[in-house]
Amino acid sequence: MSRWLDFAAIRRAVPIEAVLRRYEWTWVRRRGDRVQGRCPLHGGLREDAFHADLAGNGFHCFACGLSGSVLDLVAALEQCSTREAALSLSLWFSTGAAPTGPGSAGQGQRIRKKEPLDALPFSLRPVLPAHPYFRQRGIRLETAVHFGAGHYPGPGMMHDRVVIPVHDHRSRLLAYAGRALDSRPPKYLLPAGFPKSQVLFNLHRADLSTQTLVVVEGYFDCMKVHQAGFPNVVALMGSSLSIRQRELLQAHARRVILMLDADQAGLRATHIITTQLGEALSVALASPPLGMQPDQLSSDNISRILSGALAPRSTHRKE
């Protein structure tokens, strides 16, 4: 049974000013209880598009149109459900609106620190890496074997999908991502509620010797970059960077090379993530040709782009 959360109590208990401070957001203009600044959700060019009402405890962005409460803000920033946002807020700010029901902390107790993600108690068998789908995507057999990826012909929700194991940074198997072989939805299938924002794909096997990590969006981007000779690659499993993912990057690297998709979402994410990483890490940009993504590039092109990103002029730090 799911534990019950009092969303209304959390909205009342957590000031939006405290949430914005946690995300290191700074306002450029203040008029009484209203502050304005650049939108923390999409960045954007307007420095005054995002308005927060400190007294009313809400926000509205006049550029992207998103508005709501602290729950809506955290859910958008973390790319998670409202319930997950409520759990995070309860943990961060000890609201007293603790979950109730089986497994809850109990009335009057402080919420315990979030437990590590549960390891998957089984492995899928057989997983067949010698499948034509990998050749179609430009993935060599040895690369598929290295990542533990392959076609799964067995029963269950992953039947007849290409499955990709997802581990945490301690090498514990957490889940499988299943890629459809055709156009049937969903294109990628993960267990319901799996918190991919808490994981950096491939971090457990990435080469950390140079303290530099190449960051891409997807699983196949990661495979292609590794195959091109860059084993220091991790994937966000999306186009946004969560607080936990930022913590993992800061703990394992001093420098990040962003190689996100060169579409509208990827270019916007590159700007936002560069700002999010701030002064904690140096950031270099490695952009594919416009409209393309790393998994569509040859090894030679990936190598050329990443080598160019290592030039001093491509390094960015927040002033």
Assign residue 223 the CATH number of its domain: 3.40.1360.10
pLDDT of residue 63: 81
Asked if 318 and 279 count as a contact pair (C-beta separation under 8 A), the reply is: yes
Specify if 117 maps to a domain. Answer: no
| Claim to verify: residue 255 and residue 145 sit in the same structural domain | yes
286 HSE (CA, 13 A, CB side): 27
| Claim to verify: residue 180 and residue 305 sit in the same structural domain | yes
**Listed range (127-131, 181-185, 211-215) with the worst mean pLDDT:** 181-185
Specify if 29 maps to a domain. Answer: yes
Measured distance CA(314)–CA(301) in Å, rounded: 17
| Claim to verify: residue 50 and residue 190 sit in the same structural domain | no
164-179 pLDDT per residue, tens: 999 999 999 999 999 9
| Claim to verify: residue 156 and residue 48 sit in the same structural domain | no
Whether 86 has a pLDDT exceeding 90, the answer reads: no
pLDDT: which is higher, 312 or 36: 36
**Residue 22 belongs to domain spanning:** 7-93
The pair of structure tokens assigned to 222 is 């990661």
Q: Which of 29, 63, 93 is the last residue of a domain?
A: 93
| Claim to verify: residue 38 and residue 142 sit in the same structural domain | no
- Give the rounded percent of residues in the chain with a pLDDT score beyond 90: 57
Specify if 205 maps to a domain. Answer: yes
Assign residue 63 the CATH number of its domain: 3.90.580.10
pLDDT of residue 79: 61
Asked if 218 and 173 count as a contact pair (C-beta separation under 8 A), the reply is: no
pLDDT of residue 184: 82
Specify if 267 maps to a domain. Answer: yes
Specify if 55 maps to a domain. Answer: yes
Whether 109 has a pLDDT exceeding 80, the answer reads: no
10-21 pLDDT per residue, tens: 898 999 999 998
pLDDT of residue 4: 63
Measured distance CA(151)–CA(40) in Å, rounded: 39
Crossing angle (nearest 10°) for helices 70-78 and 82-93: 110
pLDDT: which is higher, 31 or 102: 31
Q: Number of folded domains in the chain?
A: 2
241-288 pLDDT per residue, tens: 998 999 999 999 999 999 999 999 899 999 999 988 877 899 999 999
Using the Cα atoms of residue 238, residue 209, residue 166 and residue 170 in order, give the sign of their dihedral: negative
87-108 pLDDT per residue, tens: 888 777 765 544 444 333 333 2
Using the Cα atoms of residue 296, residue 231, residue 132 and residue 135 in order, give the sign of their dihedral: positive
Specify if 108 maps to a domain. Answer: no
- Phi, psi dihedrals of residue 50, rounded to the nearest 5°: -95, 125
In 10 A of CB 291, how many CB atoms?
11
| Claim to verify: residue 165 and residue 49 sit in the same structural domain | no
The pair of structure tokens assigned to 238 is 């999306």
The pair of structure tokens assigned to 287 is 């952009």
In 10 A of CB 315, how many CB atoms?
14
The predicted model scores a pTM of 0.67
